[in-house]
Amino acid sequence: MASTDDLELIARTVVEGFLHGLHQSPYVGSSVEFASHREYQPGDDLRHINWRLYGRHERLFVKEFDAETNVELHLIVDASRSMMAEGKYACAAMLAASLAHLAARQRDSTGLTLFADRVLEHLRPRGTPDHSMELLYGLSRQHDHPPARTARVLHEVAELVPRRGMKVIISDFYFEHDELSKVLSHYRHQGHELILFHVLTPLEHRLPVSGPIRFRDMETGEEIVTDAEEIRDEFTAAVAAWQSELDKLCKGFEFAYVPVSSETPLPRVLHDYFHTRTKLM
C-alpha cells in the first residue's frame, strides 16, 4: 500500500492529468448558449462547471455567481478482506485521495470512513491541511481487513454523517441486492448526492481463455478449482448482468454508478464519473 506522501503525490498527479484532459477538449457551439458563462480556467471552482454544456460540446464553461457555497464531501471506502485482492484497495485508496485533492482545490471539506463488517475509522469533514494529511494517513494505514458480508454497516455510516452533502462509496459491492437497495433508500431519504464507484479487478471482469482457474473467497478462504473455458462465457455474462443491475438500482434513486477496473488510469475514472453525473443532471 502506498505511503501518505506517495498518496499525496499520486492524487495531485491524477487530478492535474484529469483537469488537463478536460481543458484540452475541442469546442463547438453558439454564443447564445453560453450567456452567464465564461470559459474554464485552471484553478476555477469545479462546482461551477456547467456539465450539461460539457456533455454537449466537450468544452468546459463555468457559471458566474455572486457568492460561493462550500460542499461537504464524505468518502466511504470499503477496506474489507475482498478488497485486498489484486490491488482493489490500492485503487480505491488512490481514487479517494484524488477526490479529496480535487475537493481541496475547491476549498471544500472532506471526511473519510473506512468500513468492513464495522466502521474501522471515521474522520469528520474538515478543510485544513493537517486534516488532509490525516485523511491520507487513514487511507494508507494497514488494517486487519475483517470480512464484510453485509451492507448493513452502511446504515451506521449514514447516521455518522447525516448532514446533507456529497457521499462517495468505493467498494466491490459484494452485497445482497435487497440490502444495498435499503442502504440507497436511506441515503436518498437523508437528501444526499451519492456516487458509487464499483471497483473490480480485470480477472473479475473477464476470465482467461482456457486452463484451470482457482477461485478463492477472500472473506472466508474457501476455494474451488474449475476450467476457465467451461465457465468463461457464463461468468462474463453474469458479471455484466450484475453491473447492469447495480446501474439500474442507482438510477432508480438518481445516484451515479461508475464501474472501475483496478487497472484503469484514474484520470479516466474521474472523466467517466463526470460523464455519468452529467447524464443525471
Q: pLDDT tens-digit profile of 191-215? A: 999 999 999 998 888 776 667 777 7
- Which cell goes with 220? 472466508
**What is the average pLDDT across 184-188?**
97
Q: What is the pLDDT of residue 219?
A: 64
The proportion of the chain whose per-residue pLDDT surpasses 70, expressed as a percent, equals 81
In the predicted model, is pLDDT for residue 162 greater than 90?
no
Name 256's bridge partners: 195
In the predicted model, is pLDDT for residue 228 greater than 80?
no
Q: What is the pLDDT of residue 278?
A: 65
Q: What is the pLDDT of residue 29?
A: 35
Q: What is the pLDDT of residue 156?
A: 95
- Domains of the chain and any CATH numbers: 10-63 (no CATH), 70-280 (3.40.50.410)
**What is the average pLDDT across 239-265?**
95
- Which cell goes with 58? 466537450
**What is the average pLDDT across 225-235?**
81
pTM for this predicted structure = 0.79
Q: What is the pLDDT of residue 27?
A: 36
In the predicted model, is pLDDT for residue 32 greater than 50?
no
